[in-house]
Amino acid sequence: MDSDRLIPKSIEMIVSRSLKGGGFAQRQNGEFRPDVTAWSIIALTTGNIYRDLVENSCNRLAASQLNDGRIPVAEDLDNVYWPTALAVLAWKSTGGFENEIKRATKFLVKTSGLHFPREKDSPTGHDTAIRGWPWIAKAHSWIEPTSMAILALKATGNAGHDRVQEAVRMILDRKLPAGGWNYGNTVVFNQELSPTPEHTGQALCALSGFVHHSEIAKSIDYLGKEISILKTPISLCWGLFGLMAWAVKIKDNRERILNSLSLQQRYGHYDTSLLSKLVIAYNTEGNLSGFIMPS
């Protein structure tokens, strides 16, 4: 496929998965997903296109919000509320929806993962008492949902909130001794685990503006070395987002994105959320934070 058409074709594919009632599905003829809808809204907003479709999708996202402000991943899964932070970022990117944002923000600051004092003989190396956010109610906090919640709360002017400050400490506590992050464990049974690019990128995005460069220099070095070999959408996009959040320049970043899109010829069409992340990375040149939280 002609590389000049890869982004327009990706946008066409995203739009083709929009639903009559508003919102987006992960695949053709699929069902509404709030997380997929949020990423699609942000992707289309970066190009300032399909405004009516974006508005309808924002409304559909609002219709899925429960009274307490959460946005569950599905109607019958109220306790799986991790898309709430994504919805905030989507609404924030488009403007408006202040009441929905306020309710979602209130829910986030009142919500926490399951935390408990770290036992002396615990097999895990991190401090289990420091609160972040979980994927699902009554579960431990992990890097991705915590990072997304921090980004959402920063975007709504709540960077100084106690919950955000504690979550920043949580992410720093989960940093691997050698640098970088994984899903949220550091040392298990005295064995240091390995980092992953996507979680490292998420953590670096969340920490931007909160900590000094010296505190995350090893992690930036790790991700800077990894970025040259990353091709899958999640790892590549979050790698770009994380490095750009710290003003690290990446050579040929748009070419890397197009190369990732071209892999669909071999592996088949990407899910809507993956296409959206690649479009966002391309349109913002990897500076996600600069788009959702303009200075």
Tokens of 258: 């197009």
Give the tens place of pLDDT for each residue, 15-33.
Answer: 999 999 999 999 999 999 9
- 72-76, 115-119, 184-188, range with the lowest pLDDT: 115-119
Q: How confident is the model at residue 234 (pLDDT cuts 50, 70, 90)?
A: very high
Proportion of the chain above pLDDT 90, given as a percent: 89
pTM above 0.85, yes or no: yes
Tell me what the mean pLDDT of segment 225-242 comes to: 97
Q: How confident is the model at residue 39 (pLDDT cuts 50, 70, 90)?
A: very high
Tell me what the mean pLDDT of segment 183-198 comes to: 95
pLDDT score, position 253: 93
pLDDT score, position 294: 53
Tell me what the mean pLDDT of segment 147-172 comes to: 97
DSSP state of 195: P
Residues 6+ apart with CB under 8 A from 8: none
pLDDT at 295 over 60: no
- Give the residue extent of every domain in the chain: 3-292
Q: Interior CA angle at 265 toward 260 and 267, to 5°?
A: 80
Residues 181 and 132: beta-carbon distance below 8 Å: no
Does the domain made of 3-292 have the CATH classification 1.50.10.20? yes
Nearest to 236 by CA among 255, 216, 217, 218: 255
pLDDT at 1 over 90: no
pLDDT at 266 over 50: yes
pLDDT at 108 over 50: yes
DSSP state of 188: E
Tell me what the mean pLDDT of segment 264-284 comes to: 96
pLDDT score, position 289: 75
Tell me what the mean pLDDT of segment 206-215 comes to: 97
Helix 83-94 vs helix 143-155: crossing angle, to nearest 10: 30
What is the SS3 assignment for 271? coil
